[in-house]
Structure 1
Amino acid sequence: MSRLSIVPWRRWRKRGHRHRTIRELEGPVASGGGTKAVVTALLANIGIAVAKFIGFILSGSSSMLAESIHSVADTSNQALLLYGGKRSKKQASEVHQFGYGRVRYISGFIVAIILFSLGGLFAIYEAIHKFQHPEPIESWRWLPIVILLIAMALEGFALRTALHEAESVRGSFTLKEFITRTRAPEIPVIVLEDTGALVGLVFGLFGVGMTLVTHDGRWDAIGSAAIGILLVVIAFVLAREMISMLIGESALPEHHDAIEREIVGGVFDSVIHLRTMHVGPDEILIAAKLAVKPDATATEIAEGINAAEVRIRSALPMTARVYIEPDIRREAGDTMTGTPKR
């Protein structure tokens, strides 16, 4: 995503990573994988949400209520991700000529909004209310503990599925590299949500457990507040990354370098400037101005453009559109020369 995607390839390579082929580099960007993780998380959260609501109704625990809302938010989010994935496959139209690939980013951004409002703010509000009017857990005292432990097992299974999905598409990259570099939102969102869910369950267990031991309902409120703050933080992280994708992130530095290598040849001496942008998780738009040889004819230039496009698509199948403008290289002081800073 946005943070590591701006690290220049030469610096990234110096950090001890071996050279990877363009096919291998494509893995962390492609949209493959993620559906199984989303479906697994959706089914798990439906059951967890129902169980937590029952626990809240019987015990009155604010931590259980916060966790119930958390699970409802997660369930809504997974449904949104599935909708976005299906909608993004719609064919391009006259109005949306580059397709609907960014719908997946919109779904991811809405996920962040739901986590922030329905999950985080509501949990914090409930915590403030319960802290001002604390109530010990009097009925079904140990039921919330049992439900939270079962929820931890189910969330752990969902997280394991998401990590397995990431393993199948990340290639030789580490999980951290994959999550920060991928342009597909589904797996990073699910991994963050499931990790946050497990941490939130720990907070809930702490709040409920301390309330049962001390008979002080303020501990329950503290657990709810911790869950709310956690959800707000996760929402901000997701929103930041989704906004970066919606604005339009460039190709990864190594993809940019590979395109630059493939695009030069024949009648083209060098790249004057090269611009790239993801119009979807697995679609890249390429626009380049190339310096042509002085004696090249119009026919040779046209054939050279076609040949360059074939080379690029062969090296990087996720290429959606290629626009090449032949030109004569100007002086070094020309602001249009040089590749973009990455």
Structure 2
Amino acid sequence: MADTLAPTPATRLFGIEVPVVLGPFGGMSSVRLAAAVSDAGGLGSFGLYGYPADRIRETAALLAAATDRPFALNLWLPLDGSDTLRVSADEFDAYAEALRPYFDELDLPLPAMPERYLPTFDEQIEAALDARPAVLSFVFGVPPAHVVDRAHELGIVVVGAATTVDEAVALESGGVDAVVASGMEAGGHRPSFLRAAEESLVGTFALVPQVADAVRVPVVAAGGIADGRGLAAALTLGAHAAQVGSAFLATEESAAVPAYRDALRNRAGRTVLTRALSGRLARGIPTRITDAAEPAPFPVQNWLTGQFRPTAAERGVTDLMSLWAGQSSPLARGDHAADVLQEMVRTAASLLP
């Protein structure tokens, strides 16, 4: 019985040994986890959502010091002008007031309106390109042509995320080197960009073969893959690697607090799609917040809830946290990232010809 997998177009493109990519968690990434996955032969990833340029440079330096293997940095494209969204002071106060019960529960004051909610994409991308990671991945759109060209000049592989076949084709036309086919089972935010996320809910194992047929670049399957059976299925359906999130998020190397990791293993049998925590559609474990009506637009809602979610995490108040989780989270096994990856590859190899 084999205990490894043959090289694929994705492993050759990324310069890795096994066809497993760590999901780039926005806000939940850790240098320790990304390095552990890379050191074990996969592609470690780090989500840079909300990071200003100096923090991007610092994080990239820490990653380079932690592993000598390839790793990926991930950025959110400014879909629908999210970089420059402005709301009035009165609108902000109304959005904050709607969340007052959660601030009060944690004995926190309502925050004042910030000067900005996010660093601009332009400042982020310059820092990310300067870091020269092996892979630079994007969600929520097709990266600008000048960014793709500059990345290629620097020898950086460019990856985009698609939730439909049309998005995958658009990404390939935009010059990306690989496409992540992200099915609706995936935890976290839905990275749809051509149509509303609610209109782009295709399941992973319906999406992957269609994307594989529609594009020539390597395809990475994402969503509902938490063990070797899912990896084998993805490879059988035409993917060249699998992106795995929740199974790694549940390990000790992740940035998730113990209460979150426990929820992934024991409460993720039911997940929901909600805009309540960030203003954008995302999949997670239901909490008191996920049913909230009419949230503020992104990124205002994400910034507002981000003012109390860290305190909730410190105190283990899971009902006031964003418990992003995929539909296969209950399949998560193993306390350490290397063990999760090795068992995933071993099982997949035993199932494939």
What is the TM-score when the length of structure 2 is the normalising length?
Answer: 0.23
